[in-house]
């Protein structure tokens, strides 16, 4: 399966057009939108539709609400929110959470609990992709001065997804690293294509 993932579009219609063109040119099978499609929901027009030619999985973030995602799901039949939920496609399990913890180190992490619940339905699958908006604590992104999220790191340790797609920190866009057995890909404003 060939996947294109991106986050932090922030209302940039030029970037939407570029990504839509890539979806066609690269014969993408599935698209992942890892949050911040809008800029504080000031405009939601034409930000999602052009990217939903194929199955598209999305999570909310600090710039759009769950309600906005629900309204988009009604308009675009190929769009599915995996916020606190999971999805299976061609034997690959996807699960996610768009909840932000802003780097708080909290042993009772809401984002971890959401990921745990979402993972439950796809835990039997051999290939799994986790989608969050924030990066995990202990990632290279912290070297840029931004804290990662403890609950996401804990989810990596407990569920061992093959890949974690995240964003939020624009300066880290395109950064790929390995945490335990998980390949962590920051797709902030950086359309990233990979196969699984």
| Predicted TM-score (pTM) of this structure | 0.94
Instruction: Give the pLDDT band of residue 75 (cuts 50, 70, 90).
Output: very high
67 compared with 86, residue with greater pLDDT: 86
Structural domains in the chain, CATH included, are: 2-195 (3.60.21.10)
Tokens of 24: 């066609």
DSSP states along 119-143: HHTTTT-SEEEEEESSPBTTSGGGG
pLDDT tens profile 120-153: 999 999 999 999 999 998 898 877 778 888 999 9
Q: 80 and 55 in contact (C-beta within 8 Å)?
A: yes
pLDDT tens profile 102-115: 666 656 789 999 99
Q: Could you tell me how far CA 127 lies from the centroid of its own chain?
A: 16
Q: Sort strands 55-58 and 30-33 into parallel, antiparallel or unpaired.
A: parallel
pLDDT of residue 103: 62
């Amino acid at each position: 399966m060939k996947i294109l993932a991106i986050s932090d579009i922030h209302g940039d219609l030029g970037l939407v057009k570029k990504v839509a063109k890539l979806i066609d040119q690269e014969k993408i099978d599935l698209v992942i939108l890892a949050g911040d499609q809008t800029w504080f929901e000031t405009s939601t027009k034409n930000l999602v539709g052009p990217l939903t030619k194929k199955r598209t999985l999305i999570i909310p973030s600090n710039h759009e609400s769950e309600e906005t995602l629900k309204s988009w799901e009604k308009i675009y039949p190929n769009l599915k929110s995996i916020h606190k939920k999971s999805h299976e496609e061609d034997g690959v399990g996807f699960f996610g959470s768009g909840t932000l913890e802003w780097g708080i180190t909290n042993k009772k992490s809401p984002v971890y609990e959401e990921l745990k619940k979402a993972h439950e339905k796809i835990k039997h699958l051999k290939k799994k992709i986790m989608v969050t908006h924030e990066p995990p604590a202990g990632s290279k992104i912290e070297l840029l001065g931004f804290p990662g999220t403890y609950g996401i790191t804990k989810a990596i340790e407990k569920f061992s997804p093959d890949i974690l797609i995240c964003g939020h920190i624009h300066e880290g866009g395109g950064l790929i690293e390995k945490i335990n057995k998980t390949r962590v890909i920051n797709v902030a404003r950086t359309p990233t294509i990979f196969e699984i």
